[in-house]
Amino acid sequence: MSGGPILEVDSLKVHFPVRKGVFSRITGYVKAVDGISFSMERGETLAIVGESGCGKSTTARSILRLVRPTSGKILVCGEDISRFSGKSLMAYRRRVQAVFQDPLASLNPRHSILEAVTEGMVVHGLCGESERREKGAALLAAAGLDADLLDRWPHELSGGQRQRVCIARAIALKPEILICDEAVSALDLSIRAQVLDLLESLKKELGLSILFITHDLGVVQNVAGRVLVMNAGRIVESGSAAEVLARPSDPYTKALVAASPSIVRHRNGG
C-alpha cells in the first residue's frame, strides 16, 4: 500500500457525446469534467463545491467507477482504478463507498432496514445469515439509531433516519474513502448539523478519508480542511477552506461567497 495520497486525480476528463438526427450522429460533446487534477490525503475531508452542473458529481461517479472517464487517471493508494476488473474491482468497491443526496431513492423499498445495512456484508462474504441481526444492530448504533428500526421499511423512517441508514450501510464494508455527494442538502438544518457531526465522529473513529461534494458553502466551512471550487468542468480555485471562503480570488468563487453573506460575516467575526 502506498504511503502517498490516498486519492490522486490526474487530468481527468469526462465528455458525453451529443447525438442528433435519425442516425444519432455525434454533433458535439458535453464537457462535464474537463481536465481536472487534485489529490486527497489520508484522513482528510476534502470538499468539492460548485453549482449544479459544474461537474462535481460526475467527478465523484468517476471515482466510484460508475462513469467511464474519457481520459486521465484516477489512482487510489497509487493504483490505477481503470485496471480493476472482476475480483479486483469488487475489492475496490469495498474500499470506496458513497452516500448520496436522496436516501429514499438509495434504499430498496422492498428491503427492510436490516437487509439494507447488511446486504453489502453478505455479498462480500463478511456476514452470514445468523449474524445479520447482531451486525445490523451494531451498524445502526454506530449511526446513532436504535436496533428496533431493523424490521422497519424505508418509507416508515424520517429523512434524517434514512440518511443515517445509508451511512450505516456505507461503513459496513469498512471503506477507506467515503464519498458524500450532497449527502445533507435535502435535510432540515437541525438534522443536517447532527448528520455532519456523525460523519466527523465516524471519520475519526474509523480513519476515513472523506470527499465531500456540495453546493453549500455553509457546509464547507464546517466540515472541510481544503476546498476545490468547480465551474464548467474545471477547478477554478483551491486551497484551505478558511482562506478560500474568507479571501476568494476567482470571480466565480467570489460570486458564490457573495451569495452566502453568512459565510463572510462569520469569517469576519460578525
For 38-57, the pLDDT digits (tens) are 999 999 999 999 999 999 99
Which amino acid appears at position 204 of this protein? K
Is the CB of residue 36 less than 8 Å from the CB of residue 12?
Answer: yes
Tell me, what CATH number does 118's domain have? 3.40.50.300
The stretches of 54-184 forming alpha helices (DSSP H) are 56-63, 86-95, 103-106, 113-123, 132-142, 159-171
**Domain encompassing residue 47:** 7-267
Q: Tell me, yes or no, whether 94 lies in a domain.
A: yes
Which pLDDT belongs to residue 260?
77
Q: Tell me, yes or no, whether 156 lies in a domain.
A: yes
Q: Tell me, yes or no, whether 1 lies in a domain.
A: no
**Sheet with strand 7-20: strands edge to edge:** 25-40, 7-20, 71-76, 79-80
Is the CB of residue 210 less than 8 Å from the CB of residue 203?
Answer: yes
Is the CB of residue 20 less than 8 Å from the CB of residue 27?
Answer: yes
Q: Tell me, yes or no, whether 240 lies in a domain.
A: yes
Q: For the chain, where are the E strands, in sequence order?
A: 7-20, 25-40, 45-49, 71-76, 79-80, 96-99, 177-181, 209-214, 226-231, 234-240
Q: Count the helix, strand and coil residues of the chain and give each as a percent rounded to the nearest 5.
A: 45, 25, 30
Which pLDDT belongs to residue 217?
85
Is the CB of residue 217 less than 8 Å from the CB of residue 49?
Answer: yes
Which amino acid appears at position 113 of this protein? I
Q: Tell me, yes or no, whether 87 lies in a domain.
A: yes
State the pTM of this model.
Answer: 0.91
Which pLDDT belongs to residue 262?
56
Residue ranges, the chain, pLDDT below 70: 1-3, 261-270
Three cell numbers at 107? 434504499
Number of domains observed in the structure of the chain: 1
Which pLDDT belongs to residue 3?
66
